[in-house]
Amino acid sequence: MAWPKFRSGMADLRSGAVTISTKLGPVGLTFSERGVTGVTFRRQASTPKNTPAFVRTAAQQLQQFAAGKLVRFTVPLDLSAGTTFQQAVWQTLRKIPRGETRTYTWVARQIGKPKAARAVGGACGANPLPILVPCHRVVASGGGLGGFSLGLPLKRRLLALEAR
């Protein structure tokens, strides 16, 4: 995929959005000058113009991930929209290895709030960066999938993709 060169300085760019094609379908990326702020699934892709290098890198890494390749996401993320609690949850989610799952209770313990499993579920549901912040790797203690803001069919698909 050929990407246009980013001609403006980052100081000129406050925020933006692009939509890319992946094997999982069109994926929208929103960004600020600090990093990627959101990942959403769209109906169709568009041609990104004047995107910063880190957004082009995020797009390439998401395309590789969707193709089943082992990817370590290296792009800066802007998680500033979350509360302190949500940010702690999201940072913990980033430590769950690909192909593995953890429970909401496990995440709660990791952030020092062992009785906050339900609140962890809420923070997972509010995660603006699914895949980059892998909330799909968090499951219920009883063995069920739990929830997923983008739907359980996609959660199953992501877990199966990572299990390969």
145, with CB counted inside 10 A (0-12, 13-18, 19+), is middle
**More confident call, 15 vs 76:** 76
What is the band of 1 on the pLDDT scale with cuts at 50, 70, 90?
very low
Round to whole Å and give the CA distance between 45 and 125.
24
| pTM confidence score | 0.83
* Residue 57: per-residue pLDDT: 93
Q: What is the mean pLDDT of the chain?
A: 87
Query: At CA 121, angle to CA 117 and CA 126, rounded to 5?
Result: 145
Say whether 124 is catalytic: no
List, by residue range, all CATH 1.10.10.10 domains of the chain. 84-163
Phi, psi values for residue 70, rounded to 5°: -75, 120
* Residue 47: per-residue pLDDT: 60
pLDDT at residue 76 above 60? yes
| Catalytic option among 124, 135, 139, 161 | 135
Report the Cα–Cα distance between both ends of the chain, in Å, rounded: 25
What is the band of 88 on the pLDDT scale with cuts at 50, 70, 90?
very high
Which CATH number is correct for 84-163, 3.10.20.30, 1.10.3720.10, 2.40.37.10, 1.10.10.10?
1.10.10.10
**Tokens read off for 20:** 């890319």
Report the range out of 7-21, 27-41, 109-123 with the highest average pLDDT.
109-123
